[in-house]
């Protein structure tokens, strides 16, 4: 049986108690490291949110200016072979299943591009006969002819499979470990290929080895002790940075939202704790993009924009399709920020933030 690699296990930090003075030292650290993060994630740091926010904002502006990069997700398929206890697309959920035809996918992509987006995230459930590698490769090819940046959030694959998608025009992969705690992971993933903890853990490295230029990682907050998962996420990020130093990396902080199965998270994370997590990561990884999706409400997203977060989705649909008028009725989870693109951009500009749609590096990639 496999054991956690040395670079991942965050257990030593969980029994460490930090004092207020140690939190102050962490806030002034010139070279923030894992000790800094552990202190800033500790209960003692909850009383220091204002100075944490101030430092996070200063670092965000130093590395990303006043820009917020925008992207939009497109769900290609709701078919899934997985048994995730928390997901509305799990195989045992009684829900209508849909997969976009290539013609419908093209229409959806055209509708998204007409909105002004230049980055699209393509999503599916776990690998299925309706959405396999060949299907995904063709959808990537269709997207690459319309967008400068095409990323995927799908099932784990082998290095050569990722390479074939990169050759079709895919620039990056997002893959959440969901939880880094092996026991909780096993409990939450009841059956299917996703039950393999280590296969999922190794997939971002496989993607980067296969030619992807970018990897996005995260943990689904609410499944396990959030401090365990966030310390493990930091270790995972640092491992990928050291191993694939030439590639880009981004982190996301999704919280469990309402879904068809009525799952109640065993370790709920409130907005105060989520803000603390975001500030801590910005301080410890100042030049890594941090993303926040429409899972979160408008007021919280408005507050986080430029305050640690520099990448956001908007006008999102969690149904299959929906941008071109052909979407299914049931989504993977509830959207909390349902504002239009124009409304969201207007909000950003009132905060003296500039929405960015174009990934200028996209001109250097080859498309099939």
> What domains does the chain contain, in order, with CATH numbers?
35-360 (3.20.20.70)
pLDDT of 92: 82
pLDDT of 272: 98
Buried b (16+ CB within 10 A) or exposed e, 54-78: ebbeebbeeebeebbbbbbbbbbbb
Tens of pLDDT, residues 241-296: 999 999 999 999 999 876 545 788 999 999 999 999 999 999 999 999 999 999 99
User: Is the C-alpha dihedral spanning 148, 154, 155, 156 positive or negative?
Assistant: positive
Tokens 């940075």, located at residue: 241
Assess contact for 335 and 318: CB atoms under 8 A: yes
Assess contact for 260 and 95: CB atoms under 8 A: yes
Tens of pLDDT, residue by residue, the chain (368 residues): 688 888 888 888 888 999 999 999 999 999 999 999 999 999 999 999 999 999 999 999 999 999 999 999 999 999 998 889 998 788 887 778 899 999 999 999 999 999 999 999 999 999 999 999 999 999 999 999 999 999 999 999 999 999 999 999 999 999 999 999 999 999 999 999 999 999 999 999 999 999 999 999 999 999 999 999 999 999 999 999 999 999 999 999 999 876 545 788 999 999 999 999 999 999 999 999 999 999 999 999 999 999 999 999 999 988 898 887 655 555 455 678 889 999 999 999 999 999 998 755 544 444 44
Assess contact for 204 and 155: CB atoms under 8 A: no
pLDDT of 321: 84
H or E stretch including 218?
Answer: strand 214-218
pTM over 0.75: yes
C-alpha–C-alpha distance, residues 232 and 17, integer Å: 18
C-alpha–C-alpha distance, residues 337 and 299, integer Å: 9
C-alpha–C-alpha distance, residues 279 and 190, integer Å: 33
C-alpha–C-alpha distance, residues 360 and 149, integer Å: 9
C-alpha–C-alpha distance, residues 184 and 91, integer Å: 20
Tens of pLDDT, residues 329-357: 554 556 788 899 999 999 999 999 999 98
Phi and psi torsions of 219, nearest 5°: -130, 145
* C-alpha distances in Å from residue 146, one per residue of 150, 243, 351: 9, 32, 30
* C-alpha distances in Å from residue 214, one per residue of 179, 332, 339: 21, 25, 28
pLDDT of 134: 98
C-alpha–C-alpha distance, residues 172 and 151, integer Å: 5
H or E stretch including 291?
Answer: strand 290-292
Assess contact for 318 and 95: CB atoms under 8 A: no
C-alpha–C-alpha distance, residues 194 and 284, integer Å: 30
pLDDT of 359: 59
C-alpha–C-alpha distance, residues 218 and 237, integer Å: 9
The structure tokens listed for 81 are 């072979």
User: Is the C-alpha dihedral spanning 27, 279, 38, 203 positive or negative?
Assistant: negative
Residue 45 CB partners (closer than 8 Å, separation 6+): 18, 23, 26, 39, 52, 276, 280
């Amino acid at each position: 049986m496999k054991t956690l690699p040395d670079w991942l296990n965050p257990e030593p930090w969980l029994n460490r108690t930090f004092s207020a003075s140690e939190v102050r030292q962490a806030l002034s650290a010139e070279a923030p490291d894992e000790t800094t993060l552990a202190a800033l994630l500790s209960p003692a740091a909850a009383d220091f949110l204002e100075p944490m926010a101030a430092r996070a904002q200063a670092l965000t502006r130093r590395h990303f200016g006043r820009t917020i990069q925008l992207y939009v997700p497109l769900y290609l398929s709701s078919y899934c072979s997985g048994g995730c206890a928390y997901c509305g697309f799990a195989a045992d959920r009684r829900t209508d299943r849909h997969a976009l035809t290539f013609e419908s996918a093209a229409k959806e992509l055209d509708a998204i591009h007409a909105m002004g987006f230049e980055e699209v995230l393509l999503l599916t459930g776990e690998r299925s006969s309706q959405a396999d590698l060949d299907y995904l490769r063709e959808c990537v090819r269709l997207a690459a002819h319309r967008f400068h940046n095409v990323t995927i959030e799908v099932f784990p694959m082998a290095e050569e499979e990722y390479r074939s998608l990169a050759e079709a025009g895919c620039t990056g992969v997002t893959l959440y470990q969901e939880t880094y705690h092996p026991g909780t992971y096993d409990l939450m993933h009841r059956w299917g290929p996703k039950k393999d903890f280590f296969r999922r853990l190794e997939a971002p490295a496989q993607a980067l080895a296969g030619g992807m230029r970018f990897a996005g990682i995260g943990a689904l907050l609410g499944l396990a002790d959030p401090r365990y998962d966030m310390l493990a996420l930091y270790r995972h990020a640092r491992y990928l940075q050291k191993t694939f130093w030439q590639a880009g990396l981004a982190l996301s902080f999704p919280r469990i939202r309402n879904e068809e199965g009525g799952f109640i998270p065993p370790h709920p994370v409130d907005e105060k704790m989520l803000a603390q997590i975001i500030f801590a990561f910005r301080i410890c990884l100042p030049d890594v993009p941090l993303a926040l999706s429409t899972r979160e409400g408008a007021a919280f997203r408005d507050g986080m924009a430029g305050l640690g977060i520099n990448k956001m989705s908007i006008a999102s649909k969690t149904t299959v399709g929906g941008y071109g008028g052909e979407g299914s009725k049931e989504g993977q989870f509830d959207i909390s920020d349902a504002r239009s693109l124009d409304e969201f951009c207007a909000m950003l500009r009132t905060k003296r933030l500039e929405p960015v749609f174009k990934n200028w590096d996209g001109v250097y990639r080859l498309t099939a």
